[in-house]
Amino acid sequence: VPFEVSPEGISNDPERWLSLEIANKKLRVLSVHIPGATDSKFKADGYGISGEKRKELFWNEVIKYAEKYREGNAIILGDFNTGLKEDAEGTPFKLSEFILKLRNIGFVDTWRHLNPNARDYTWYWRRKDKVDGSSHNHNGFRLDYVFVSPALVSQIVTTHHLHDVRERKLSYHSIVMADLNV
Q: Using one digit for the tens of pLDDT, what is the confidence trace for 80-101?
A: 999 888 888 877 678 999 999 9
Q: Is 76 exposed, middle or buried (0-12, 13-18, 19+ CB in 10 A)?
A: buried
CA–CA gap between residue 168 and residue 134 (Å, rounded): 15
Q: What is the pLDDT of residues 46-91, one digit of tens each?
A: 888 888 999 999 999 999 999 999 999 999 999 999 988 888 887 7
- Give the three-class secondary structure for 167: helix
Task: Report the mean per-residue pLDDT for the chain.
Answer: 89
> Edge to edge, what strands does the sheet with 144-148 contain?
4-5, 17-22, 27-33, 73-79, 144-148, 108-109
In the predicted model, what is the mean pLDDT of residues 3-14? 91
Per-residue pLDDT band at 130 (split at 50, 70, 90): low
Q: Comparing C-alpha atoms, which of 115, 101, 95 is closest to residue 156? A: 115
Q: Comparing C-alpha atoms, which of 135, 37, 151, 126 is closest to residue 83? A: 37
Element (H, E) at 111: helix 110-114
| Res 132: pLDDT | 62
Higher local confidence (pLDDT), 128 or 26: 26
| Res 133: pLDDT | 57
CA–CA gap between residue 177 and residue 162 (Å, rounded): 7
CA–CA gap between residue 59 and residue 80 (Å, rounded): 9
